Amino acid sequence: MPEEGWTMQDGTAWAGNNPRDHPGMIQVFLGHSGGLDTDGNELPRLVYVSREKRPGFQHHEKAGAMIALIRVSAVLTNGPYLLNVDCDHYFNNSKALKEAMCFMMDPAYGKKMCYVQFPQCFDGIDLHDRYANRNIVFFDIGINLKGLDVIQGPVYVGIGCCFNRQALYGYDPVLTEEDLEPNIIVKSCGSRKKGKGGNKYIDKKRAMKRTESTVPIFNIEDVEEGVEGYDDETSLLMSQKSLEKRFGQSPVFIAATFMEQGGLRPSTNPATLLKEAIHVISCGYEDKTEWGKEIGWIYGFVTEDILTGFKMRARGWISIYCMPPHPAFKGSAPINLSDRLNQVLRWALGSIEILLSRHCPIWYRYNGKLKLLERLAYINTIISNFASMWFILLFVSIFAIGILELRWSGVSIEDWWRNEQFWVIGGTSVHLFAVFQGLLKVLAGIDTIFNFAELYVFKWTSLLIPPTTVLILNILNIIGTVAGVSYAINSGYQSWGPLFGKLFFAIWVIADLYPFLKGLLGRQNRTRTIVIVWSILLASIFSLLWVWIDHFTSAFTKSAANGQCGINC
Q: Is residue 304 part of a domain?
A: yes
End residue of a domain, out of 288, 320, 341: 341
Lowest mean per-residue pLDDT among 188-192, 378-382, 408-412: 188-192
Same domain, 439 and 303: no
What is the average per-residue pLDDT within 398-402? 82
pLDDT of residue 426: 78
CATH number at residue 311: 3.90.550
Predicted confidence (pLDDT) at residue 394 exceeds the cutoff of 90? no
* CA 254/CA 247 separation, integer angstroms: 7
Q: Are both 332 and 427 inside the same structural domain?
A: no
Least confident span in 4-8, 427-431, 559-563: 559-563
Bigger pLDDT: 291 vs 196: 291
**What value does the mean pLDDT take over residues 537-550?**
79
DSSP, res 13: B
Tell me: do 518 and 416 sit in the same domain: yes
Does 239 fall in a domain? no
**Per-residue pLDDT tens over the stretch 287-318:** 888 898 888 888 888 878 888 888 888 888 88
For residues 337 and 441, state if they share a domain. no
Is 353 within the bounds of a domain?
Answer: no
pLDDT of 433 reads 73
| Best-predicted range by mean pLDDT (55-69, 257-271, 486-500, 548-562) | 55-69
Q: Considering only residues 387 and 202, tell me which one the structure prediction assigns the higher pLDDT.
A: 387
* Residue-level pLDDT at 456: 43
Q: How far is CA 54 from CA 26, 139, 280, 287, 301, in A?
A: 17, 39, 15, 14, 22
Provide the whole-model pTM.
0.60
Dist CA 148 CA 165 (whole Å): 22
Give the lowest-confidence range in 260-274, 339-353, 488-502.
488-502
Q: pLDDT band at residue 528, thresholds of 50, 70 and 90?
A: low
Question: What is the domain range of residue 506?
Answer: 412-561
d(CA 569, CA 554): 13
Q: How confident is the model at residue 195 (pLDDT cuts 50, 70, 90)?
A: very low
Count: domains in the chain = 2
- Residue 556 pLDDT class (50, 70, 90 cuts): very low
Which pLDDT belongs to residue 499?
76
One domain, residues 265 and 156: yes
- pLDDT > 90 in the chain, percent: 4
Q: What pLDDT, on the 0 to 100 scale, is given for residue 397?
A: 87
Give residue 201's pLDDT band: very low, low, confident or very high (50, 70, 90): very low
User: Among 16-25, 51-60, 186-195, 332-341, which is the least confidently predicted range?
Assistant: 186-195
* Cα–Cα distance measured from residue 132 to residue 377, given in angstroms and rounded to the nearest whole number: 22
Distance from C-alpha of 181 to C-alpha of 178, rounded to nearest angstrom: 7
Percentage of the chain with pLDDT > 70? 73
Mean of the per-residue pLDDT values of the chain: 74
163 and 37 in a common domain: yes
Q: Are residues 35 and 115 in the same domain?
A: yes
Q: Are residues 160 and 285 in the same domain?
A: yes
pLDDT of residue 200: 40
Within 10 angstroms of residue 481's Cβ, the number of other Cβ atoms is 20
Q: Which of 148-162, 188-202, 360-374, 535-549 has the lowest mean pLDDT?
A: 188-202
Same domain, 37 and 145: yes
Q: What's the confidence (pLDDT) of residue 568?
A: 42
User: Is residue 554's pLDDT more than 90?
Assistant: no
Could you tell me if 458 and 310 lie in one domain? Answer: no
Q: Where does the pLDDT of residue 138 fall: very low under 50, low under 70, confident under 90, or very high at 90 and above?
A: low
**Is 496 within the bounds of a domain?**
yes
Cα 189 to Cα 98: distance, rounded to the nearest angstrom: 32
More confident position, 271 or 223: 271
pLDDT score for 86: 86
Q: Quick check: 162 pLDDT over 90?
A: yes
CA distance from start to end of the chain: 34
Give the pLDDT of residue 522.
64
Nearest to 162 by CA among 247, 77, 105, 123: 105
Domain end point (choices 341, 357, 375): 341
Q: Which of 258, 256, 248, 348 is nearest to 306 (CA)?
A: 348
Does the pLDDT at position 555 exceed 50? no
Residue 336: inside a domain:
yes
Of 257 and 433, more confident? 257
Q: Is the domain of 133 the same as that of 275?
A: yes
Domain assignment of residue 545, yes or no: yes
Distances (CA, A) of 424 to 467, 471, 518: 9, 12, 15
Say yes or no: 323 and 419 in one domain: no
The pLDDT of 398-409, averaged and rounded, is 82
Q: Is 241 within the bounds of a domain?
A: no
Residue 98 annotated as lining a ligand binding site: no
In a domain, 225, yes or no: no
Model pLDDT for residues 15-49, shown as the tens digit of each residue: 777 888 888 888 888 877 767 888 888 888 888 89
CB burial of 348-373 (b: ≥16 within 10 Å; e: otherwise) equals bebbbbbbeeebbbeebbeebbbbee
Does residue 195 contact residue 184 with C-beta atoms inside 8 Å?
yes
Tell which of 341, 358, 383 closes a domain.
341
Count of C-beta atoms within a 10 Å radius of residue 469: 21
pLDDT tens track for 480-522: 777 777 776 766 656 677 777 788 888 888 888 888 777 777 6
| Position 116 confidence tier, pLDDT thresholds 50, 70, 90 | very high
Report how far residue 68's alpha carbon sits from residue 48's, in angstroms, rounded to the nearest whole number. Answer: 12
